[in-house]
Amino acid sequence: MTPSFFLRAATAKQYFSPVRKTVLHCALLACAFPAAWTAHAQTASSPFNEFMTAPGSAGLGFVTRVERSPYVGGGNRKDLLPLYLYEGERFFLHANRIGVKFAPDEDHRVDVFLRRRLEGFPEDEQPAALSGMAARSTGVDLGVTYRYNQPWGTLHASLLHDVSSVSDGNELALEYSYDWRSGRWALRPSVSVSMRDSKLNNYYYGVLAGEATAARPAYAPGSGTNVALNLYGSYNLTERWRLLGGVSVTALDSRIKDSPIVRKGLQPSFFVGASYDFGSYKEQLWADEKSPTYVRVLYGRAGADSCHLAKILTFKCADLDKTTPTSIAGVHVGKPFVEKLNGWPLDFVGYAGLVHHNDRNLQANGMQVDLFMKAFYYGFPWSHKVKTRLGWGLGVSYANRVPYTEASSQAARNRPTSRLLNYLDPTIDVSLGDLIGSRNLKETYVGVGVSHRSGIFGSSRLLGDVNGGSNYIYTYLEMKI
């Protein structure tokens, strides 16, 4: 889908500027989009994603990271990292990294990407030793990686620069890794060296003069080098389900450890998770030019703040926000990844969408980009007469401006907001052709759904540690062409 397609569907010239800005902002935030699996020594590769490298493949999953905080009094902290994975011929999406790749042959590859840096501390998780200090936010890096692959191992070299004006810092990361596979097992040990400049270290581990106290003097660590030993692995439970795990130990530069806010000693991190692989084992429909395309046009209204997703799905609430009746209109375009999985009435479709927010002069209108994978079940007893699909979409959503319904709700609770959030898309629809007796419209569907953005209960640093979100109840028309 292109912005011009949405413009024609919306027939509004004033949408052009927000569309252009949204596409740019989505790139700057990396959409969701792990080059960094620890907060201390950024690896040059994407370890878990390296286990899924077939062109055209896609997957969904999660990894829970438990790490020893580098900050004094930070203790152990948990972080949920959603895995939104896609590996195309040129384009890739790796959890918190999105980019394009250039591979002249099997031995050499260059990636240009944008990546969310999962480092720092938010205000609501601030250790007591950091009381009175400004939060150290996650930033966005623009990076380039060169990979050289040989039977004896793989060398990575990455150069990164903060483009979000958070730290304005730079980093050069070097890594050696070796891939070992046996049956269902895959292991990837590696050693990485991270050379960080003074801006990067001063921001995350320094103390400004205005933040200094008697027990916390002003300090600037300056540039330094961190070293990490890593071991990542996967185990194939089935052809598509994989268990993921890993451990990483980082030795911080001595100048960082001398900071009054940094804990002494090594920085260990542990990872455990699972993923579902839609396409590593055989050529998928997505890459087939003859495969159908799904085009969906939707319009919806914001649900009442008390009308949560669980209430909507259990038919206990369908109230709209009548006080501030904001609305959305948009287009989602999808391509199938799997049809009739294992012979079941179950399809998987990958979608990309562009949605316009009409915030009714409560704030400036904005645009939203959705990327998600969706399962459709249609094995109901009556489907031979009126085909009925129950859909569940899961992915990521980026808004160039936090929608008013989210901003106002979070402000009332004194909670943070994030333009990047997890996306859920539950729907139910029926065949329009079956309803009116038209064979030509048999693969045209009318239905209702919920556009749900959320921070997964504040459990994910990738999503800004947001506890909250929004629900838009919408109707739609979807055509299979």
Q: Tokens for 209, please give them.
A: 């003069």
Strands 139-150 and 327-338: unpaired
Burial class (CB in 10 A: 0-12, 13-18, 19+), 303: buried
**Mean pLDDT, range 347-354, rounded to an integer:** 93
Distance CA 22, CA 398 (A): 9
What percentage of the chain exceeds 70 in pLDDT? 85
Q: Is 451 left (phi over 0), alpha (psi -120 to 50) or beta?
A: beta
E runs forming strands in 197-282: 224-236, 241-251, 267-277
Residue-level pLDDT at 15: 33
Greatest alpha-carbon span in the chain:
80
Report CA-CA distances (Å) from 393 to 211, 390, 410: 45, 10, 24
Which residues are CB-neighbours of 306 under 8 A, at least 6 positions away? Answer: 317, 319
Q: Tokens for 275, please give them.
A: 């993923």
Kindly report the CATH class assigned to 31-277. mainly beta
Distance CA 419, CA 399 (A): 5
Q: Tokens for 210, please give them.
A: 């205005």
Q: Where are the alpha helices (DSSP H) in 242-361?
A: 254-257, 309-313
Domains 31-277 and 285-480 alike in fold: yes
* Tens-digit pLDDT profile for residues 180-226: 999 999 999 999 999 999 999 999 999 999 999 999 999 999 999 99
Task: Say whether pLDDT at 48 is over 80.
Answer: no
What confidence tier does 353 reach under pLDDT thresholds 50, 70, 90?
very high
The pTM score is 0.81
DSSP state of 304: P
Annotation: CATH topology of 285-480: Porin (2.40.160)
Task: Say whether pLDDT at 30 is over 60.
Answer: no
**Mean pLDDT, range 48-59, rounded to an integer:** 66
Q: Map out the domains of the chain as residue ranges.
A: 31-277, 285-480
Distance CA 86, CA 61 (A): 12
Asked if 170 and 139 count as a contact pair (C-beta separation under 8 A), the reply is no
* Tens-digit pLDDT profile for residues 118-164: 888 876 677 888 989 998 888 889 999 999 999 999 999 999 999 99
Q: Which residue has the tokens 């927000």?
A: 18
Task: Say whether pLDDT at 354 is over 50.
Answer: yes
Task: Say whether pLDDT at 447 is over 60.
Answer: yes
Q: Which of 302, 348, 309, 341 is nearest to 325 (CA)?
A: 302
What confidence tier does 284 reach under pLDDT thresholds 50, 70, 90?
low
**Mean pLDDT, range 416-445, rounded to an integer:** 94
- The dihedral over CA atoms of 186, 188, 189, 193, expressed in degrees to the nearest 10, equals -170
Q: Which of 320, 330, 299, 354 is nearest to 471 (CA)?
A: 320
Q: Tokens for 171, please give them.
A: 């980093």
What percentage of the chain exceeds 90 in pLDDT? 58
Asked if 192 and 217 count as a contact pair (C-beta separation under 8 A), the reply is no
